[in-house]
Amino acid sequence: MKITKRQLRRIIQESLGAPTFQSWADENGFTIDIDPMTGEKVVLISDEFAMQTGLPDGADWGVERSYDDDGWIVSPHGQSEPEFEEIAYGDLDAMDDIGIQYRGY
């Protein structure tokens, strides 16, 4: 049986005693919203809560500054998995279009 990285992460978190995203939000009285851009669950926390309490130990959740710079957006998915990956290919000859050879570099 194969498991995904997300499932493995959840198993490790549960074994470490880290609360789930849902239980943490419920304990602290937060409302879980759905991000309209990504469709994932998110919680908005204030700067004050972030400074005083922070996230629970063992929680591998994504955190980013809110769009209006008034708190933090916490999501249950860690930041370790990029949404996309840029792959570089080619050599210096592929850079002819930007005029490097004519600038004396």
pLDDT at 57 over 80: no
pLDDT at 20 over 70: yes
Q: Name the more confident of 32 and 78.
A: 32
pLDDT at 40 over 60: yes
Q: What is the pTM assigned to this prediction?
A: 0.57
User: What's the CA dihedral at 93, 94, 97, 99 to 10 degrees?
Assistant: -40
Distance CA 80, CA 95 (A): 31
Sign of CA dihedral 42, 46, 29, 52: positive
